[in-house]
């Protein structure tokens, strides 16, 4: 039985219940003071506790896909990079006053230990800046890490504008997860050195703009305007401070877990801002839960807003934009595998372009996503235009 199979969970739960029943039934018979009765009671307690704990751990793992196989549980991970397969045809696989500080403000370096920043001269490996982005429309000031490729500092590129990948972490992860655990800046620097990726600015963000609430890149009625932040505030702030492309053909969204869901939502809902999206282990629907609260409002309008955040419903009922999407999953270990297959099938007769990266096994964790991030960055970069334009 597989580690995440229902049959294993139900079997262990049944064993736990039987152990409790047997302990209660046999306890009077082990009431003596000798060595054997004492060992019997200790053994009954130990076995009962072990089976109950195993049931709980299996249930938590099944719900969150931390480990997908027995091999992963004992530390045997496949670390080979994933392979991208084209699926469909096409051309490629409230306000805040900016004040004198501008829309991009320097932030401190506290808490950045072990961030996996590329090491070396910025003209050769690039550089990472820790900043805060001011959202004039959404009314928030959010932390971000901005990776500038080595070409950004080289004389021959001083008049060029660079493409941008907006990388979004999962919830409740922060921008540090993208650098420390997913190793986005280091991976991008290595790909650039190997000439597998064109020079690209990468801005790393978290998906929520009102922590601890999970805002899921949604404009909440009478609440936080997360979609506005990603589609208006972030591009405006970055264009005000960096040499980045002004046209949509230079912009992409990328994310893992709920950040991957955000990337797909942004591309399909706002294709004139993000015509390219790469989603590692995404969901294809956004639901209300204990961490999100009510994202869509009430009444018929709320129901319609919720339907519009169901990507299967969008593909079936709304005009489909010409965007390029990459989705990833694994046959064993990821709960979204069947939905990923369903999404790919639904997209085949649509004008969008879809590619997929399907691993044989890999759970919902950074070990899996690190296998995917290199190919995903390479694929995303190739969809973008560089140099988009040249400064006068």
User: Three-state secondary structure along the chain?
Assistant: CCCCCHHHHHHHHHHHHHHHHHHHHHHHHHCCCCHHHHHHHHHHHHHHHHHHHHHHHHHHHHHHCCCCCHHHHCCCCCCCCCCCEECCCCCCCCCCCCHHHCCEEECCCCCCCCCCCCCCCHHHHCEEEEEEEEECCCCEEEEEEEEECHHHHCHHHCCECECEEEEECCCCCCHHHHHHHCCHHHHHHHHHHCCCCCCCEEEEECCCCECCECCCCCECCCCCEHHHHHHHHHHHHHHHHCCECCCHHHEEEEEECHHHHHHHHHHHHCCCCCCEEEEECCCCECCCCCCCCCCCCCHHHHHHHHHHCEHHHHHHHCCCCCCEEEEEEEEECCCCHHHHHHHHHHHCCCCCEEEEEEEEECCCCHHHHHHHHHHHHHHHHHHCCCCCCECC
Q: List, in order, residues 6 or more apart from 340 with CB less than 8 Å away.
A: 284, 327, 328, 329, 334, 356, 358
Tokens standing for residue 304: 């319609």
CA distance linking residue 75 with residue 25, whole number of Å = 39
pLDDT digits (tens, 9 = 90+) for 173-206: 889 899 989 999 999 999 999 999 999 999 999 9
pLDDT, one tens digit for every residue, the chain (392 residues):
666 667 888 888 898 899 888 888 888 877 777 778 788 888 888 988 988 988 888 777 665 545 555 655 655 544 556 666 666 554 333 434 444 468 999 886 544 545 667 888 999 999 999 999 999 999 999 999 999 999 999 999 999 999 999 999 999 888 989 998 999 999 999 999 999 999 999 999 999 999 899 999 999 999 999 999 999 999 999 999 999 999 999 999 999 999 999 999 999 999 999 999 999 999 999 999 999 999 999 999 999 999 999 999 999 999 999 999 999 999 998 999 999 999 999 998 889 999 999 999 998 999 999 999 999 999 999 999 987 666 65
d(CA 374, CA 350): 27
**How many other C-beta atoms can be found within 10 angstroms of the C-beta atom of residue 18?**
12
pLDDT tens readout for residues 40-84: 888 888 988 988 988 888 777 665 545 555 655 655 544 556 666
CA torsion 295→327→173→377, rounded to 10°?
Answer: -130
pLDDT tens sequence across 224-244: 999 999 999 999 999 999 999
For the beta carbon of residue 226, count every other beta carbon within 10 angstroms. 25
Closest CA to 368 of 377, 378, 359: 359
- Cα separation, 308 vs 327, in Å, equals 19
Which pair of tokens denotes residue 106? 């320097």
């Amino acid at each position: 039985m597989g580690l995440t199979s229902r049959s294993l969970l139900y079997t262990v739960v049944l064993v736990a219940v039987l152990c409790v029943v047997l302990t209660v039934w046999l306890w009077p018979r082990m009431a003596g003071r000798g060595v054997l009765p004492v060992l019997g009671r200790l053994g009954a307690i130990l076995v009962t506790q072990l089976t109950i704990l195993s049931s709980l751990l299996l249930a938590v793992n099944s719900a969150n896909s931390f480990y997908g196989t027995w091999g992963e549980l004992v530390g045997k991970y496949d670390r080979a990079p994933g392979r991208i397969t084209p699926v469909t045809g096409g051309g490629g696989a409230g306000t805040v006053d900016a004040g004198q500080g501008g829309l991009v403000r320097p932030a401190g370096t506290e808490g950045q230990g072990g961030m996996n920043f590329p090491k070396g001269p910025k003209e050769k490996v690039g550089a990472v800046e820790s900043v805060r982005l001011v959202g004039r429309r959404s009314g928030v000031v959010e932390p971000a890490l901005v990776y500038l490729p080595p070409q950004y500092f080289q004389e021959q590129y001083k008049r060029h504008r660079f493409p941008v990948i907006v990388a979004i972490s999962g919830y409740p992860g922060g921008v540090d997860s993208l650098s420390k655990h997913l190793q986005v800046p280091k991976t991008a620097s290595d790909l650039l050195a190997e000439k597998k990726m064109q020079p690209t600015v990468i801005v790393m963000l978290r998906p929520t703009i009102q922590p601890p609430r999970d805002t899921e890149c949604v404009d909440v009625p009478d609440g936080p305007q997360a979609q506005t932040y990603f589609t208006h505030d972030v591009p405006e702030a970055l264009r005000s401070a960096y040499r980045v492309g002004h046209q949509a053909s230079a912009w992409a969204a990328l994310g893992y877990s709920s950040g991957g869901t955000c990337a797909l939502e942004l591309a399909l809902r706002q294709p004139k801002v993000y015509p390219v999206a790469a989603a590692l282990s995404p969901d294809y629907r956004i639901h209300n839960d204990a961490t999100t609260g009510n994202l869509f409002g009430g009444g018929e309008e709320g129901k319609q807003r919720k339907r519009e955040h169901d990507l299967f419903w969008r593909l079936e009922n709304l005009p489909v934009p010409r965007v390029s999407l990459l989705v990833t999953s694994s046959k064993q270990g990821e709960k979204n595998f069947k939905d990923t297959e369903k999404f790919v099938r639904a997209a085949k007769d649509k004008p969008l372009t879809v590619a997929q990266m399907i691993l044989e096994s890999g759970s919902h964790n950074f070990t899996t996503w690190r296998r995917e991030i290199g190919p995903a960055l390479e694929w995303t970069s190739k969809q973008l235009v560089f140099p988009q334009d040249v400064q006068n």
